[in-house]
Structure 1
Amino acid sequence: MPVYAFTIALSAFLLFLVQPIVARQILPWFGGSAAVWTTCMLFFQLALWAGCAYSDLVVSQFDAAWR
């Protein structure tokens, strides 16, 4: 169980570490406006939500199959 908790914490840390770095790197390419920064943050948050929804779907499907 501690291995899973460590893996989840590490993945969350890396996600929130990479998110601003990537956004700051592509910001000048698209004009550097606040709308670009907001779009980057929205994309990463939607990707995080999609990953959570996918994992919930997979767990619910496997849970039903194991019964």
Structure 2
Amino acid sequence: MSGAVSEMETDMVMRNGPVLSDGTKVSDLINLETREVKLRTLSDDPELYKLEMEKIFAKT
């Protein structure tokens, strides 16, 4: 798999938000109504860490 993101992948992310490699939507990890966060978000998941870094430093 190359590092390039296809146009279809970009469209999917724009419509559904980021999706992890196992198919989990990042938005599914947080329940805004009950203010609960899945334990997975508190682990040392390298994929989530990378997404966080991209969001934090994308504007600098």
**TM-score with structure 1 length normalisation?**
0.29
Name the one with the larger helix percent: 1
- Which structure has more relative contact order (CA 8 Å, sep 6+)? It is 1
Give TM-score, length-normalised by structure 2.
0.31
